[in-house]
Every structure is written in C-alpha cells, then in structure tokens.
Structure 1
Amino acid sequence: MTLQLVGPTSWTQLSATLGYDPRDPFAVRIRFGGRPRAGAPDDGVEWLVARDLLASGLGHPCGDGDVRLWPARTAEDVLFLELRAPSGHALFELSRTALADFVAATEQLVPLGQESDVADMGPELHALLQGEGPDLGGR
C-alpha cells in the first residue's frame, strides 16, 4: 500500500506492507521500510494496530492514544492515519478503498466479531493466572 507522509511543507510517498495472521486475529501489522532479510539489519519499522480500529475508521473517526484513523471530510477515497510514539508522531494519507479491500480480505479469513473463536488465549491466560505474565510495574 502506498501512503503519503504529510509534512509541514511537502508530502512524501511511502510504501507500507499490511499483514494479517489469523493466528493473531485481533491485530494488523503495518510495516514501513524494508523487509527483514537473513544476515541483514532490519531497517523497517512495524506498528501493531487493532483490526477493528481499521474497520471502524473506514466510516468515522476512531482511535485513542497512539493510533487514530479518520475519513477526510472532502474526499471520499481519503483516510488519515496518525501514529504517535514517545519519539514523535506521523500523519499519513491513504486510500480508503485500498484499506477497505484489505480489511475485507482479512474478513474472509476471520469474520469481524469472531476473533475470539479462533484466538488461542489459553497459554497466555494460563501464564497470567500463574503470575507469569508481563510485569506492568505495579499497574
């Protein structure tokens, strides 16, 4: 997928790869930059985004915190994607049609709303119940 990085004075075209794995049915990976190759440094950046956020953002503003998505008011095929991190933030313009096609393809694998039916939460839940989960620093 091609995205436009919106800058203060110009826009830069970037290539991104969207990935979906039915074994992790709630998540979509958005990878910017090169693909990892054996023996080569990984020069890409990957964001993990909730699939339902992408589906919802096709029609109305959604997201809170690090990832936000909303349709443009004046152009039907334009969405804006904002990504925030402690090191900064980026605003992208992308095709609504391209993202809708991607979301539809993921729904062929796992329909929206049925993610829990295919997600294997057993090992993660067991680890949390046994006190082996991530240390959240007292939260």
Structure 2
Amino acid sequence: MITRNRMRLPILAPQAVVCPKGAPPRDAGAMSTLLTYDARDPFAVTLTLTTAGVEWVLARELLADGVNAATGEGDVFVCPDVHGEATVWVTLHGETSTLILGFRRAEVEYALDGMERIVPEGTESDRIDWSRELALLAWGGEAA
C-alpha cells in the first residue's frame, strides 16, 4: 500500500540463505518481508522479516544504489546479481548469523518508485523537522 506519506509493501525474497556463525550455510527458501517507507524519516527504509518479526533499517540511498552496483559497509550490503539475473541481493550481518536475501529486481524498483512518489530524491532533508531533531539531541533523546 502506498499513500501520500507512507509505503508498506509486502515483498517476497524468493531466495534466502542463512549463514550461522561457525556452521554451514543453509537454504531458507522463500522469505516474506515488508518494506516500509515513511516521509517523516525520508532517508530510511525498514525491512521487516515478517516470519521472524525482525526489523532492519537501511538507507534508502543504499537500496537504490545497490540495484545497479555493489554497495554497503558494516551490517548491510546490497548488489545486483553478477550473472545478469533480475535479482538484487541484500546481505544482512547480525551478531549470530548472516542472512542473504534475493529479491526480484522489478519489485525493488517498484518500491523505489513508490518512495520517489512520496519524497522525491534530493528533497529528503526538506521533510525533517531540524528544530525537533536538535532539541532531542541537546536533551539526550534520540533523533529520528
């Protein structure tokens, strides 16, 4: 569902591999996820692993850049398929395991188009209440 200020889009990862630390990787089959985008936090995308109830927050720009070229550092890495398949790979590094999700490129592009309709690229900072963010930081709270 895409509205004026928010997108909640179920997206299937037809291919998923779980790599527990110290153990062999295993095929996790298809994995249901939910991509959430909110204009109030325009730089971020939340990826929820619906079957596990686990959420990952990643940069919108990282997801967009990863459709065409390998990108990322730290806990999240995104890249297109090296064999030219219509797949975008998202690698999530956790404390006890790594999860590699293969999404259909067309679905990722559809989600990115939805984000673009909500907040056009380059206008993200116009949506942030900077006074609120600075007040939260000054008083020891968390910024969005």
TM-score, normalization by structure 1 = 0.82
- Structure 2, unpaired ranges of 5+: 1-10, 19-24
Residues 1:109 and 2:118 aligned together? yes
RCO comparison, higher one (Cα < 8 Å, 6+)? 2
Larger % of strand: which? 2
| Separation of aligned partners in 1, 2:93 and 2:26 | 20
Cα drift, residue 17 of structure 1: 0.6
Cα drift, residue 125 of structure 1: 1.2
- Structure 1, unpaired ranges of 5+: 35-42, 135-139
| Separation of aligned partners in 2, 1:122 and 1:74 | 47
Q: Which residue of 1 aligns with 2:17?
A: 6
Size of the aligned set, in residue pairs, is 125
Aligned pairs (5 A) from 1:1-139: 1-3=11-13, 4-7=15-18, 8=25, 10-33=27-50, 44-128=53-137, 130-133=138-141
Cα drift, residue 76 of structure 1: 3.5
Instruction: Report SS of the residue matched to 1:25.
Output: coil
| Separation of aligned partners in 2, 1:6 and 1:114 | 36
Cα drift, residue 80 of structure 1: 1.0
CA RMSD after TM alignment: 1.7
| Separation of aligned partners in 1, 2:131 and 2:63 | 26
Instruction: Report SS of the residue matched to 1:80.
Output: strand
